[in-house]
Structure 1
């Protein structure tokens, strides 16, 4: 009832393993293969009230992943089975039912090795198939949302930590400058807690000259700025 083909490989026909359940096996499929075409065989009787859900499993991965569905209105599809960039000018992006690409990125190796690939096909009622397809899309969207949330949370935490570090550094720098200024001016205290403003101007002038001569002065561990 179903067949599959990919570049450089002979056509593989589906084997019925249970009622309305089929598998197609590629024992040693090169990992460099980018696309695989699943299609209904010609002149078969397929109930328009049913959809054939297409699943995919590669290598030692025990989990089948849902790729899409076939039916009377869409009797074949080309599925992407690795992360190689898609050339949109290669004719594979046609919107016709018989030449349709479902861009599903699967985690396959692209090192030139071979692996076993199994296509699972389950015939379901249209209502059940639509529900399963929608759930799959929802799960994918949720996973993407979770990943984005984690990324934003990480970014926010890093920003908070960076801001906290900046605030702490600014506080330490301010304390360092004020302490140095206080120590300098206190030596000119007239006994009543008063210091001539000229002495502050003198400190400021010396401080700016030393800072100009040594741009790393404020980052120095030396508490004596003058």
Structure 2
């Protein structure tokens, strides 16, 4: 049976502050609220890191949804969904756009499907719930060679390709990688 998250399952880091591991409030066995301390010397804090503490594994099929809780949060104005962490993505950095006075971070362990729905429907969500499987190095190499072969084969009908054609391919290939670094990850 899957173990429920413990009170001290998550850590938060604000620049210039000590790591926060104890929630201010435990709302339920799977929902926690962390009050953010005021920033030192009145400096603005724009990002927060949220992570699973070492040795903590969320129950299978769940992810931790991260919310920004402000003094304006009510049942009519719910907390702002920031993103999520979970299996394969145990930490994330989130942008905080509200002043820290009275602000908190809510963490709720929810079904992964529900969190994934929030991720896709919320353009402000920053972190995917789980990593997409990456093609193997062999597959990437085959795609690179296939791309080069297709390009270079258009230059000659007698199996002789000028070196300048390879140079042209390389420049176009590099440009394509800069423009869309994920194009090799997709099946062509």
TM-score, length of structure 2 as denominator length? 0.52
Do residues 117 (structure 1) and 103 (structure 2) align?
Answer: yes
Kept in 2: contact 1:12–1:25 (CA 8 A): no
Which residue does 1:22 correspond to in 2? 32
Q: How big is the shift at 1:14?
A: 4.1
Instruction: Tell whether the 8 Å contact from 1:47 to 1:72 is kept in structure 2 after alignment.
Output: no
Partner of 1:80: 95
Q: In angstroms, what is the RMSD of aligned CA positions?
A: 2.1
Q: CA deviation at 1:31?
A: 6.0
Larger Rg: 1
Q: Which residue of 2 aligns with 1:132?
A: 118
1:18-97 to structure 2, matched below 5 A, reads 18-29=28-39, 30=42, 32-58=44-70, 60-62=71-73, 63-81=78-96
Aligned residues: 108
Deviations 1:148-204 (A, max 9, x none): xxxxxxxxxxxxxxxxxxxxxxxxxxxxxxxxxxxxxxxxxxxxxxxxxxxxxxxxx
Structure 1 spans left out of the alignment, 5+ residues:
82-105, 139-226
Deviations 1:101-160 (A, max 9, x none): xxxxx2x24xxxx6122000111111111122223239xxxxxxxxxxxxxxxxxxxxxx
Q: Is the 8 A contact 1:3 1:24 kept in 2?
A: no
Contact 1:31 1:115 (8 Å CA) reproduced: no
- 1:28–1:117 CA contact under 8 A, matched in 2: no
Unaligned runs of 5+ in 2: 1-8, 125-188
Superposition deviation, residue 12 in structure 1: 1.1
